Structure 1
Amino acid sequence: MPVGSNLPLRSVILRYPPSTIEESEESYQLLELPPEIIKAVEASKGKDKESIFPLTIKGKPSDDAVLCTPNSTFQLRTVGISNSILVCRSPHSSSSTSTEGGEKDTLQIRDTCHEILECVAISPNLERIRTILKDSAWKGINSSTNNSLGKRKRGEKENKVKKWTRDQLSSVIQCSEEELDKGLKERNVIEVNGKMLLPPPKELKELLSIMLSLLTIHSLDPTNSTIALSQPMLEALQDDHEVDPSITKEVLTLFGELVKEDGKEEEMWKADIKRIIREIGKGLLVGVKDKKLDEFEDEWRNEVGEEWGDEIDIKLLEGEYLLSPKPLTTSTTFSSSSSLISHFPISSLPLQPSERFSDLFLTRPKWRPEEILPFLKGLTRDGDVKSRDKLVQKFVRVVKEKDGSMWWYPRRSS
């Protein structure tokens, strides 16, 4: 019940309820909603007076509770208040106390609140998706677990790994439904037979490389190799690589669009080439340590094939790698690559800002702004540059060198 509703318009008598009634043990926690949520609630009522704007509190017993709207997540934080708030209700008895001045309304004090819960907009913890699903992750092409997500074949031991539905994930991951959908897509999670399946980067890379080759083979238009019939691809992957069609179809949908032209029954796949090339690059990058950048790019180019070799761009992998200068030796030539690449995924970094910045400055004593910014994703809500800049101001010391270049150093605690 909103605070302040149904308050009388004249003076009232406040009493504590009789200690004999059971309701005297009531306890309340007051929640202060920010303007962002209030506006969303009012807008929802404006569209449909009977509609309910969902507000859900999520969190396991070991988590700090969060409040989720359909598209945002807020941390619930206890704040003490200087003036206590009395929570009052009308007594069950309809009788009122009479005085010489006439009748006055009576309210019973049900609780006294010295603190409230306030909502603070935060970035959701979506990395829990990967943590939860890694034990039941896809094993790759030509693996026995392609069939029905690990259904036992004769002679195989029972697989006791828990497989999660989307609703089960939603119940333990502290984020809104819109943020969960985005997080699942970013981590390439697919739904097969009602269960969520995580394809790891290396295994996904192998599948996508084959799909690019099949896309070229079955292309419908020589001038546009991004469109092909889906059925021949489903059959080829099932017959030659033991990939269940239910998995292949979900991957096709994740990395493109399955459509039917008017008057035709055949389903076509319109591929998202840029996203496919990015994921192949991420798969190749796993485990790489101090590899020549030009060698990595050649390997990436060969993996995607001649048709798409010109599409690769190291910027597609931002937040997944580090570049470092190649050490000078007597054999170094001006024509050789000047950089070495190493796998450094943002998913391996802590979610807490202080720990994130600490790890980053342990990795490198100083950073260029454009190099470190991709690794700050997830500390604040997407697009909230103001909050991100506040974190930078708190943990970073900006130094301008004599040559005019800007470097970020760790801010020393006072």
Structure 2
Amino acid sequence: MMEQPQPCCRGAEVLLNLQPTSSVCIQYHRLFGPHDDLVLLELDEKLLPDVLYRRVTLRGQPDEDAVLCTKSKTYSVKFVGTSNSVFLVPHADYSTLCKNSQDCDGEDYKQQVGASVIKVAPGNMELVEVAPRLDKLKSIISENLYSSDEALAMEDLEFMERSMRRLYTWDDLTNMVQASDDELRTGLKALSAVEIDGYWRIVDQKYMDMILRMLLHNSVLNDWSLNTLIEDEVVSVLESDGFPRKLAYHCLHVYGNRVEEVMDRGVWRMDARRVCVHFAREILGQGKRKMESFMEEWTRKLPEEMQASFEMLEGEVLTEKLGVETWVHAFSVSSLPFTPAERFSVLFKERPKWEWKDLEPYIRDLNVPGLSSEALLLKYTRRTQPTIDAEPVFNAR
């Protein structure tokens, strides 16, 4: 004989406590309707704690598709329709006993318990992990670079008011950029951004060059080893040279690595690759150069403690043969879009065909959840290999 649910249960509780082989009477709720503000969300179990404890946010502007962000990941939000009837039943406070004494099997029950359906859901929202959308971050904080003029005009109120019109706080960025907090911080670090007076800024390259050159100059004057720079000494001297204390620290972060604490004093080691890349960019910023000429000037500009190696410039420059001469020109991965489709479009505009050894540094940083580098190549390129021993060549699909 079919069992009946406990008469003490009402509303959604009826369904939650429904036993196998039991039945329940279904009826329309008096507030039944489309209720567009009620949406079903399908979740992976690992995301439940974040949602239940309100550790997620929806991000996006009115003209953008919304994304859901946890502390460390970003998910696209997509509607998935269903052909099944999915009934939404509110909790007991909004449900009523069946007014019809006829149950679903045609038998009379004076106190038949009912579940009142307030909405029939046509589908649910689905979450799919996606890469953070950081191209917008690069675009907006590049609008107003922090320059030496701004540093010198800190007391010029009119200048400061003009310069602050396109500045962004952390809260501004989280409202505008579709990325989790951790991904946003990683993006800011990749752009060498620094927080100045509450606003996230990119320092003008010429100004960074001035600070770096002064640091290297002071290392010679004060007999500092670039492998053991004492933080307090470096910052104090740069500050006395007229650079803001914040930017003195920033210079160490951009071009060095903190290695240890010695008697409660921070010690830094200048990163040879970052310093060498900086001077290579400066030289090639004026246009392409013959390899011999470039290497000669590049080596001359570097500190004595650092040795130049062309391998350091992987992902920063490209070479080409023109007759018997080899020329080199700037082409930095940091200037490329973050989205794969746009990245490959720019790459194939630069070169119609790429050998793997040249292409790999320019796609290594692409991070698309669920897609490996091989999958990205299959999606966006065509691979040709004349012989088994030949290097594969990639062109646009």
> TM-score normalized by structure 1?
0.77
- Supply the distance in 2 between the matched residues of 1:85 and 1:250 (Cα, whole angstroms): 56
Alignment of 1:285-304 (within 5 A): 287-304=285-302
**CA gap 1:16/1:388 in 2 versus in 1, 3 angstroms:** farther
Aligned twin of 1:318: 314
Question: Is 2:183 the partner of 1:179?
Answer: yes
Question: Is 2:338 the partner of 1:371?
Answer: no
Report deviation, 1:31: 2.0
Q: Is the 8 A contact 2:66 2:76 kept in 1?
A: yes
Question: Is 2:120 the partner of 1:112?
Answer: yes
Partner AA of 2:390 in structure 1: G
Alignment of 1:156-305 (within 5 A): 158-160=161-163, 161-218=165-222, 225-240=226-241, 242-254=242-254, 255-257=256-258, 261-262=262-263, 267-274=265-272, 276-277=274-275, 279-281=277-279, 283-284=281-282, 287-305=285-303
Report deviation, 1:74: 1.5
**Identity of paired residues, percent?**
24
**CA gap 1:346/1:113 in 2 versus in 1, 3 angstroms:** farther
Deviations 1:83-124 (A, max 9, x none): 242222145356412552453332222222223222222221
Report deviation, 1:25: 5.3
Please state whether the residue corresponding to 1:11 is helix, strand or coil: coil
Question: Is 2:392 the partner of 1:406?
Answer: yes
Moved more, 250-259 or 165-174: 250-259
Q: Is the 8 A contact 1:230 1:268 kept in 2?
A: yes
Partner AA of 1:323 in structure 2: T
Please state whether the residue corresponding to 1:367 is helix, strand or coil: strand
**CA gap 1:243/1:258 in 2 versus in 1, 3 angstroms:** farther
**CA gap 1:137/1:108 in 2 versus in 1, 3 angstroms:** same
Question: Is 2:86 the partner of 1:75?
Answer: no
Report deviation, 1:316: 3.5
**CA gap 1:94/1:52 in 2 versus in 1, 3 angstroms:** closer
Please state whether the residue corresponding to 2:235 is helix, strand or coil: helix
- Supply the distance in 2 between the matched residues of 1:13 and 1:89 (Cα, whole angstroms): 15
Alignment RMSD: 3.3
Question: Is 2:149 the partner of 1:144?
Answer: yes
**CA gap 1:121/1:247 in 2 versus in 1, 3 angstroms:** same
Unaligned runs of 5+ in 1: 46-50, 333-337
Moved more, 243-252 or 171-180: 243-252
**CA gap 1:249/1:135 in 2 versus in 1, 3 angstroms:** same
Q: Is the 8 A contact 1:288 1:343 kept in 2?
A: no
Aligned twin of 2:43: 33
Report deviation, 1:406: 1.1
Aligned twin of 1:335: none
Report deviation, 1:408: 1.1
